A and B are shown apart, each in its own frame.
Chain A
């Protein structure tokens, strides 16, 4: 046999999509401010989300100060406490986590990881950010309007959200709803871009089943968001009409301060259905990108291919689909036909199956891997443990009979903070440590990173483990002062004070992280293009940080899946996705 040199590039499938005409910025303004480059938009999203997230962090301190030392802080009254919990919840769930995972990581990573030059419609992508910024500004403005922000709780349940007994009834609730509507419009513009980029703008060789799981997670979450946010949009519009026009979509006949109100015939339960049809998928809109990112972090830092890639993809898709049929498990105490309770409890518990598959696969990826305990890896491990802990209490709350006594106690607060607060934040932080070198060209400081991890991880447990116990004792959530109640032992107050001190410590550890972000930007160790020796495309860009158009003259061609780590016989312990195979491979064979 003659040894003919084999040109893999010629063997790759032909380009189906001609090269994009990129928008080229003409001035400083169009390059850095009104930029159409997904990478700049991603940074804008991330900074805005982090800024408003810091406000939510400070609000959580104020809440904890009140709970830990009731009566000590005269500047926090009952109304303000309610306003703090509302704004803290809303900001953290929607304006921080959703915006950061999809607007921030989505914008930065999708085009780079699938080998595109940019999002498919950069102009619409830019509008998405500016409308998001407007939504954040409207939300923040509620702190300065007469009456302050709404105190309805992040679920905004009517009728109380609209009634005068709730703080922020004049302006707060109106601006909150307007801000949500703006957010959804802005998000839809971005979300359409992410979905179409993943579906239609991948580079040659990048089949869906070769995509890194990060992209799978963000993609599925975006599809879910495009289908779930409409329910919140409709609920917001209808409640806005109830508040401003006096319609009665959600308002039953009511007597307020001895006066019969004009409302009548509306259904508060209808709002709950609409809200949770959005609200439950929202949990997974936040969790799925975290699942995807953590898979890549574990595989990269354990130098081992992800275990059960196809199963991981189907688990992501399955969780996404199932999460649309479980919403009423948030409404067990609202009252429903027992058969519906049975149905929703069953679907809720079924979600545990794909979720458990993912957890097993992460653990099996680690099994006998070459584990590097880098800061991103520490956060990824912290995520797995936290997510399992939070998920187990989810089994308690998913069952009707167990949920009814636990509903509206601190147990619920502890559960969702573990599972969709601490766990996704762990991934956000790990992902920042992982991709910061690509964004800036410099490594984050390792020592500060490890300090940040251990304080955050252990602190989060010291905050939320006691909170489960307090909840089991029957301490209700949303009470600014539980006072002396016969069924609550006095030691609860000591525990509350302890939690508060821990919350302050964990909060200050985040300041170390912020300092690290700024310090490393100037003083960090230069990272080079691929500091983690990772396989995915974003680490193979010709420049770091990637330039306009991402790839220089020619788009990369993908020859393999994203997890070729420690391949036996290979020269190095990783093979980038754009490295050709040595011999002609059968097309359509398993990745």
Chain B
């Protein structure tokens, strides 16, 4: 069931045209999305639902920011670092973004090698992805620590609207939790790849379902999503 079977490519009789045809295609026999496995379909729909969660978080933050009567702290200044005597705005965020986007690259390579059934390269690339993700979370922890030392709290901060701290900790925290879960699952799946579980279609401990290399791709979908969400957080929280 996890593996996909090609749809019968034979000519189907009585194709209808126009909107009715579109509806018929969507509602066709057995599967709405041909050649999409259950796991992949489920991940896509979960990500759609998760998109609504992040959208609600971001919209709430924007509402707070637009309606506040107190000045909003300038993110370029708040997130600036002194490095070797130079005052560089947003430098840490820039590095974090670079690290996370690079991890999407290594993830895509892992998916590619997974489908070539290259056990070792897949596992190594997944571990590199996990390491980059962990680095991201580490830098976020550093950023949180720095802000907390400077007196930023969820309920107040030295520079202006209290909602700055609340939104910051809530949104980056929720995103960081997503990254952390991703890292845990990356390591777990990398272990399975390394052990060769997907080559012998070993059954899962809880689910007793056979394992397939497609799981690497489904993991990749999640990882790219978390990456994409970060781009929006970066744009709306740091660059605005």
Contact = CB atoms under 8 A, between A and B. Distances in A.
A13 B49 contact: no
A267 interface: yes
A274 B52 CA distance: 11
Interface stretch (A196-204, A336-344, A538-546): A196-204
A199 B42 CA distance: 10
A121 B42 contact: yes
B33 A204 contact: no
A241 B31 contact: no
Nearest to B166: A247
B155 A226 contact: no
Given A265-B162, A588-B16, A207 B155 contact: no
B148 interface: no
B13 A587 contact: yes
A409 interface: no
B64 A267 contact: yes
A21 B208 contact: yes
A402 to B, nearest CB: 29
Contacts of A122: 207
Interface stretch (B65-73, B113-121, B123-131, B232-240): B65-73
A205 interface: yes
A237 B63 CA distance: 16
Given A227-B49, A266-B163, A588-B15, A205 B60 contact: no
Contact of A201 (B23, B38, B174): B38
B30 A17 contact: yes
Contact of A209 (B7, B27, B38, B70): B27
Contacts, number: 165
Interface string B54-83: 011100100110011110000000000000
A14 B7 CA distance: 9
Contacts of A15: 30
Contact of B24 (A195, A266, A588): A588
Given A274-B60, A588-B24, A16 B155 contact: no
B5 A16 contact: yes
A191 B46 CA distance: 9
Interface string B155-171: 10000011101100010
Contacts of B87: none
Given A18-B1, A230-B53, A238-B60, A207 B27 contact: yes
B32 interface: yes
A249 B63 CA distance: 10
A514 to B, nearest CB: 36
Contacts of B5: 16-18
A206 interface: yes
A249 B60 contact: yes
A234 B60 contact: yes
Given A20-B1, A227-B48, A586-B13, A249 B166 contact: yes
A32 interface: no
A200 B43 CA distance: 13
B196 interface: no
A388 interface: no
B14 A247 contact: no
B31 A200 contact: yes
Contacts of B210: 21
A309 B210 CA distance: 39
A199 B32 contact: yes
A270 B28 CA distance: 42
A270 B63 CA distance: 8
A233 interface: yes
Given A17-B31, A249-B166, A121 B38 contact: yes
A264 interface: yes
A277 B60 CA distance: 13
A517 B77 CA distance: 67
B166 A241 contact: yes
B29 A246 contact: no
Contact of A587 (B14, B68, B206, B208): B14
Nearest to A18: B1
Contacts of B165: 247
A297 B179 CA distance: 47
Nearest to A273: B63
Nearest to B165: A247
B30 A203 contact: yes
Contacts of B41: 196, 199-200
A130 interface: no
A231 interface: yes
Contacts of B8: 13-14, 16
B46 A202 contact: no
Nearest to B21: A588
A570 interface: no
Given A234-B56, A266-B163, A270-B63, A589 B31 contact: no
Contacts of A19: 1
B195 interface: no
B34 A16 contact: yes
B214 to A, nearest CB: 14
B211 to A, nearest CB: 12
A279 B24 CA distance: 32
A458 to B, nearest CB: 41
A2 interface: no
Nearest to B10: A14
A16 B29 CA distance: 9
A199 B34 CA distance: 10
A245 B163 CA distance: 12
A123 interface: yes
A226 B52 CA distance: 9
Contact of B29 (A13, A235, A249, A265): A13
B94 interface: no
Contacts of B32: 199-200, 208
B34 A588 contact: no
B209 interface: yes
Given A587-B12, A588-B24, A265 B45 contact: no
B3 interface: yes
A403 B5 CA distance: 55
Given A192-B46, A230-B56, A265-B163, A249 B64 contact: yes
13 contacts: A19-B1, A21-B210, A192-B49, A196-B45, A199-B31, A199-B41, A200-B33, A202-B31, A247-B155, A249-B166, A265-B64, A265-B68, A270-B64
Interface of A: 13-21, 23, 120-123, 188, 191-193, 195-196, 199-209, 226-227, 229-231, 233-235, 237-238, 241, 245-249, 262, 264-267, 270, 274, 277, 586-589
Given A21-B210, A227-B49, 5 more contacts: A16-B8, A16-B31, A18-B3, A188-B46, A230-B52
- What are the 5 closest A-B residue pairs judged by CB atoms, nearest first? A208-B27, A230-B52, A247-B166, A234-B56, A246-B155
